[in-house]
Amino acid sequence: MSNQLPAIVLLLTLLAAPLCSMMRNGDHAWKLAVSSAWLSVVAAFALLQQVWGGYEISYHMGGWPPPWGIEVRIDELSALVLVLVTLFGSIVLSALRESLRPIMRSHRHSLYYTTFLLCMASLIGITITGDAFNVFVFLEISSLSTYALIARGRDRRALTASFRYLIMGTIGATFILIAIGFIYMVTGTLNMADLAERLPAHADNRVVQASFAFFTIGIALKVAVFPLHYWLPNSYTYAPKATTAFLAATATKVSLYVMIRFVFDVYGIEFSFQQMQLGLLLVPLSIAGFLIASLTAVFQNDVKRLLAWSSVAQLSYMVLGLGLLNIDGLTASITHMFNHAMIKAGLFLALAAMIYRVESSKLSDLAGIGRTMPYTTAAFVILGLGLIGVPLTAGFVSKWYLISAALEKDWLWLAVLLIASSLMAVVYIGKIIDAAYFKPVSASHAQVKEVPPIILIPCWTFALLTIYFGIDTRLSAGLAGRVAQTLLGVGS
C-alpha cells in the first residue's frame, strides 16, 4: 500500500470533490471534505517520512516509465510543500463551515467545499508531478477553482477582482504553456528530470532563452512578484473570509515552488543565473516589492487589505532569498514559504473570526476587540509577532536566514533595508494591536461575543504552530537547508 501513496495523497481529495458535489446536505459534505483532507495530511506526512534524509520517490502513472508516461516525483522539497498544502488547508477547512454560514445559503455549501477540495487537490497535483505539461493542467484546475472561490465574496467588487485575476492568470498560464512548448520543441521531452538532462546542451538556443523569459513572466504573475502583483490585494480583500486564509497560505506558495523547481532543476542554475542573469532581475524587483508593499500596508485602514499588502511584501522576501543564490538565501526562501503560509493563514483566519462577529474589517470597527473577543485577538497578536519576526516565533527563523544571506554577500545595505521593512511591519501590526486593546469599544459593537470553538481552535492551532516552529526548526529550516544544498549542488 505504501508504494501507492503518491497517487493516494492526490486521490483522497480529488475523489472526495465529486462525491461532495453530489451531496445535497452541506453538513454531510463538510464531514466528508474534512475527513478526506485530514487523511491526506496523514498521507503527506507518511511521504515526508519516506523521503526524509534526501530520498526520492518516483511513481509511474499508468505504469508507463518516463519520459513516455507521466512521472510523479517526490523529494524533500515537494514533501514539505505537500505537508504545507494539506495541513494548512485542512485546518482552514475545519473552520470553514461556521464561517460560511452567514454568507451563503446552506445548500450551496457542498458546492463550495467541492471547489475548495478541487483547489487543494490540484495544488497537491502540481506539487508532486514530475511532468512539465502536467503542471499546466493542474495549474489550471487550481486557477479555475480559485477564481470561483474569490468570486463568491460578499462584496460585488469580489467579482471584478476575480475577473481581473482570471485574465491575468490565464495570460500567465498561457505564457507557461508557450514556455513548455518551446522547451519541448528543442528537447522532444516533457519529463522534468529528462528536460534537466537535455537542456544544458541547448543553452545557446534562442528558443530556450525565449522559453525561459515566458516562463519567468508567466510564473511571476502567479507568484505575484512585484510589479505583477496587481491582482492580489483585491482578490484577497474581497474573497470570502476564511477562503483568503487558504489562498494566502497555499496558492502563491505552490507557484513559488513551481518557480524554484523550474529555475533550479529544469533550466538549471547555470543557465538561469549566469546566462540569463535572473538574479539581476529578481533582486531589485523584490527589494522594491517589499519596500513599497510594506509602506502601502502601513497606510491601509482595512485590516484585510493591510494583510494582503503585507503578503506581497512577504512574497518579495521569498523571491529575494531565491535571487541571492546562496545557501542561506535559499534556505530562507523555503523556510519562509512554510512559515509565512502558517502565519498568514492564521492571521486571516483570526481576522475572519473577528469579521464573523463584527461584520467589518475596518480598523475603526475593530476598536476594543481585544476586550470583547480576548482569545481570538490574543491568537492574532501572537501571529502578528510572528509576521514581524520576533524571536521565538517562526517568522524570526526565516528573517534570520535572509539577513545572514545578505551579510554573506557583504550587502550591509540590504540587511538594513530588510530591518527597515520589518520595522514597517511593526508599525502596521502595532496599528491593529493599538486599535484592538487601547481604543474604546464602540457602542454598536459592545455586545460582540467570542467565536465558537470550531473557529477558535484552528486559529490557536496556527498560533501555537508559529511558536513551535520558532523553537524546533528541524522540519522547516533544517529540511530547507538540506534542500538548498541539493538545489545549489554543493555538499550533501
Partner 1 sequence: MFTGLFNYWVVIIIMMSGLYVVMSSSNLIKKIIGLNIFQTAVFILFISMGKISGGTAPILAEGITAYSNPLPHVLILTAIVVGVATTALGLAIAVRVHEAYGSVDEIEIAAIDAADFDQETPAKPAEDTTS
Partner 2 sequence: MLVATVFVIIRLEKLMSAVMMMGFFSLLSSCIFMVLDAVDVAFTEAAVGAGVSTIFFLAAIAIVGRTSRPVKPNKMIVPLITCLGTGAILIYASFDMPRFGINDAPIHQHVAPRYLNDSAGEVGPPNVVTSVLASYRGYDTFGEVGVVFTAFIGVFLLLGAGTRKSGKERPAPPNVGEGSMRQKVVLREVSDLVIAPVLIFALYVQWHGDFGPGGGFQAGVIFASGIILYALIYGIVPAQKVMPPRKLAYFPAIGLLLYAGVGVVSMFKGGNFLNYSVLAHDPLHGQHYGILIIELGVGITVAAVMINIFFSFSERSL
Q: Which is nearer to partner 1, 8 or 144 (CB)?
A: 144
DSSP-based three-state secondary structure for 74 = strand
Rounded to 5 degrees, φ, ψ at 362 are: -70, 140
Shortest distance, CB of residue 49 to partner 2, whole angstroms?
21
Name the residue nearer to partner 2 (CB basis): 185 or 423: 185
* Residue 401: φ, ψ to 5°: -65, -40
Q: Which three cell numbers stand for residue 437?
A: 486593546
| Run of H or E including 73 | strand 71-74
Does position 181 bind partner 1 by CB under 8 A? yes
Q: What is the DSSP code (8-state) at residue 67? A: T
Between 60 and 99, how does the x/- string for binding to partner 1 read (CB under 8 A)? ----------------------------------------
Residue 205 as a binder of partner 2 (CB under 8 A): the answer is yes
From 34-42, 140-148, 346-354, 403-411, span contacting partner 1 (CB under 8 A):
140-148
Name, in order, each residue with C-beta under 8 angstroms of 272's C-beta and a sequence gap of 6 or more: 212, 263, 264, 278
User: 187 or 286, CB closer to partner 2?
Assistant: 187
Considering only the stretches 36-44, 175-183, 223-231, 436-444, report the one whose residues sit in contact with partner 1 under the rule CB under 8 A: 175-183
Q: Using the rule CB under 8 A, which residue among 19, 46, 144, 415 binds partner 1? A: 144
Q: Is 148 in the site for partner 1 (CB under 8 A)?
A: yes
Q: Which does 158 bind (CB under 5 to 8 A by kind): partner 2, partner 1, none?
A: partner 1
Selection from partner 2, partner 1, none that 347 binds (CB < 5 to 8 A by kind) is none
Q: Should residue 163 be labelled a site residue for partner 1 when binding is judged by CB under 8 A?
A: yes
Segment interacting with partner 2, rule: CB under 8 A, options 139-147, 224-232, 320-328, 344-352:
139-147
Closest separation in Å from C-beta 173 to partner 2: 11
With CB under 5 to 8 Å by kind, the binding choice for 28 among partner 1, partner 2, none is none
142 binds partner 1 (CB under 8 A): no
Closer by beta carbon to partner 2, 76 or else 131: 131
Compose the 40-59 pattern: x for residues touching partner 2 by CB under 8 A, - for all others: -------------------x
Q: How far apart are the two ends of the chain, measured CA to CA in Å?
A: 30
Point out which residues pair with 72 in neighbouring strands. 59, 129
Cβ-contact 45, 10 below 8 angstroms: no
Query: Of the ranges 203-211, 240-248, 370-378, 447-455, which one interacts with partner 2 (CB under 8 A)?
Result: 203-211
Nearest to 191 by CA among 133, 268, 124: 133
Stretch near partner 2 under the rule CB under 8 A, chosen from 130-138, 220-228, 305-313, 314-322: 130-138
Q: Compute the CA torsion angle 73, 76, 79, 85 (nearest 10 deg).
A: -120
Q: Which of 40, 90, 99, 115 binds partner 2 (CB under 8 A)?
A: 115
Strands annotated E in 233-321: none
| Number of residues counted as binding partner 1 (CB under 8 A) | 33
CA distance 74 to 79: 6
The residue within the footprint of partner 2, chosen from 9, 96, 118, 373 (CB under 8 A), is 118
- Strand bridging mode 71-74 / 57-60: antiparallel
Burial group, residue 63, by CB count within 10 angstroms (0-12, 13-18, 19+): exposed
- The least CB distance from residue 41 to partner 2, in Å, is 20
Give the separation between CA 257 and CA 253, rounded to whole angstroms: 6
d(CA 113, CA 132): 28
Assign residue 71 a region: left if phi > 0, alpha if psi is -120 to 50, beta otherwise?
beta
Which cell numbers hold the place of 147?
A: 477564481
Nearest to 391 by CA among 307, 296, 469, 290: 469
Enter the C-alpha cell of residue 234: 483585491
Return the C-alpha cell found at 2. Answer: 505504501
Q: Is 185 in the site for partner 2 (CB under 8 A)?
A: yes
The four Cα atoms 239, 11, 483, 268 give a dihedral, to 10 degrees, of: -90
Binding-site partner at residue 62 among partner 1, partner 2, none, CB < 5 to 8 Å by type = partner 2
Q: Which does 21 bind (CB under 5 to 8 A by kind): partner 2, partner 1, none?
A: partner 2
Cα dihedral sign, 392-488-67-59: negative
Per-residue mark of binding to partner 2, 81-110 (x: CB under 8 A): ---------------------------x--
Contact segment (CB under 8 A) with partner 2 among 4-12, 321-329, 387-395, 475-483 equals 4-12
247, HSE (Cβ side, Cα atoms, 13 Å): 33
| Closest alpha carbon to 415 in 393, 389, 382, 394 | 389
* Interaction between residue 301 and partner 1 (CB under 8 A): no
Binding region for partner 1 (CB under 8 A): 104-105, 108, 133, 136-137, 140, 143-144, 147-148, 151, 153-160, 162-163, 166-167, 170-171, 174, 177-178, 181, 184-185, 190
Binding region for partner 2 (CB under 8 A): 4, 7, 11, 14-15, 17-19, 21-22, 59-64, 67-70, 108, 111-112, 114-115, 118, 121-122, 125, 131, 133-134, 137-138, 140-141, 144-145, 147-148, 151-152, 182, 184-190, 198, 205-207, 209-211, 213-214
